[in-house]
Structure 1
Amino acid sequence: MTGILGGNPKDEPMHYGEIYNVWQASMMAKGAISAYRAYIFHAGDKDLKKILEALIDQAELEVSECDKLLTDNGIATAPNLPDRPDAKLEDIPVGARFTDPEIFASISTAIATGLVACSQVMAQSIREDVGALFGKYHLTKAALGLRILKLSKEKGWLIPPPLQIKRPEMVNA
C-alpha cells in the first residue's frame, strides 16, 4: 500500500481519536502514579505495597511512552503532577487512613477500567504501532490484575458477588 497510510506506521499521521486516547492515557497514568504513591503511605501489608510499586512502575512506563509518542507527533503533553511529600502510616489518623481492603478495591477497579480503555484504543487505532502499544499495556494490566486477585483471595479482601452453590434441579418435561 502506498500513500499517507502506507509504509512505516510511525511515519503515518495520528488521527484525532488516537491523539486524544494517547493524551488521555498519559494523563490517567500520571494521576494513577500520584494516587498509588499516596496508597503506599496508607498500606500496611508488604505484599500490597509491592503490587503498588509494580503499578507505579507500569504507569511511569506508560507516561514515558505515551508522552514520547505525542511529542514525536508535535502534540503537547499533559503536565506532570507534583510529587507528594513522604508520610508514615502511623502519622495518618485512623479515620483518614485508607485500609488495605479499600486500597485493593480501588486498584482492582482501576485495572478493570484500564483493560477496557486499552481495548477501546486498540480497536480505534489505525496506526499499528499505537494499537500494539496499547495491546502491550493490556497484557501487563491483565497480569497485574491476576496478581491483585490472587493477593485479595489470600488476604481475605475479595468480596464475591452472590455465588450459586446449589443449582436447582432440572425438570424434564
Structure 2
Amino acid sequence: MSNPFEAVWKTLKSMVDIEPKSPLHVGEVMSFWTYLTVLDEAIRYEEVGLNTTTDDEVKELLVDAKKLCESQSQRLSNFMQKEGIPLPPGPKKKPKSEPQEVPLGVKFTDDEIANGVSLKIATAGIECALGNSQSIRTDVGLIWIELYTEMLTFGATTKSLLRKRGWIKVPPYYTPTGLTKS
C-alpha cells in the first residue's frame, strides 16, 4: 500500500497530464537554467570534497549529495531538452585524486566541506521556491515542488551531521529588550 502523500502526488500528476501545455515563459526557462547551473556547480564542489576528505561521515554526505544533484540534474536536463531549452554549459568533471596528495594549504577542512554542502542546499531551496513562484504551468510547479522536497529532506540529514560534529553555524541569539534571560 502506498502512503497518502504518494497517492496525492500521483493524483496531482494525473491531473496535470490532461492540462493543455502552454509554452514555457522566459521566467520559467531562466529558473530552470539557473537551477541546473547551481546543481552542476554543486556536483563539482562535491567531487572536490571527495578528493580532499578522509572523514567517512563527510564522504558519505558528499556521495549522497552528489547522487541527489546528479539525479536532479539529469531529470531537469531531460525536461529542458524535451521542451527545446538549450542547456547551460557546465563545468568539467574533476579527476579523482588522493586526499593525502592534496597540500594542506589548498584543501578545505571537513567542517568547511560540510558547511559548503549545507550552503548549496540552502541555495538550491531558494532557487526552487523562486522557480515555483514564477511558474504558470502546473507541471512546472510540480517539478519545483519535487526538487524542493528532495533538497529539504537531504538538508535535514545534513543538519544532523553538522549538529553532531559541532559544525553548525548559529547566528547570535536575540533577546528582546525587557525579556528576562533564563
User: TM-score, with normalisation over the residues of structure 1?
Assistant: 0.85
Aligned residue in 1 for 2:135 = 125
Q: Contact (CA 8 Å) 2:38, 2:124: kept in 1 or not? A: no
Aligned residue in 2 for 1:19 = 29
The structure having more radius of gyration, on CA atoms, is 1
1:22-65 residue CA offsets vs partner (Å, 9 max, x unmatched): 12211221111111111111122211111111111111112112
- In structure 1, C-alpha distance between the alignment counterparts of 2:74 and 2:20, rounded to whole Å: 17
Q: Contact (CA 8 Å) 1:23, 1:67: kept in 2 or not? A: no
- In structure 1, C-alpha distance between the alignment counterparts of 2:152 and 2:141, rounded to whole Å: 16
Higher mean Cα deviation, 87-96 or 41-50? Answer: 41-50
Aligned residue in 2 for 1:39 = 49
* CA RMSD between the two structures: 2.2
- In structure 2, C-alpha distance between the alignment counterparts of 1:148 and 1:9, rounded to whole Å: 37
Q: Give the C-alpha shift of residue 169 in structure 1.
A: 3.1
Counterpart selection for 2:150 from 124, 140, 161: 140
Question: Measured at CA, do residues 10 and 42 of structure 1 come closer, stay the same or move farther in structure 2, by a change above 3 Å?
Answer: farther
Q: Secondary structure in 2 aligned to 1:35? A: helix
Which amino acid is the alignment partner of residue 103 of structure 1? I
Q: Secondary structure in 2 aligned to 1:57? A: helix
Gaps of 5+ in 2: 1-15
Identity of aligned residues (%): 24
Gaps of 5+ in 1: 1-5
- In structure 1, C-alpha distance between the alignment counterparts of 2:39 and 2:180, rounded to whole Å: 49
Question: Measured at CA, do residues 132 and 44 of structure 1 come closer, stay the same or move farther in structure 2, by a change above 3 Å?
Answer: same
Q: Contact (CA 8 Å) 1:10, 1:129: kept in 2 or not? A: no
Q: Determine if the alignment matches structure 1 residue 116 to structure 2 residue 126.
A: yes
How is 1:1-173 mapped onto 2 (pairs within 5 angstroms)?
Answer: 8-9=18-19, 11-163=21-173, 168-169=179-180
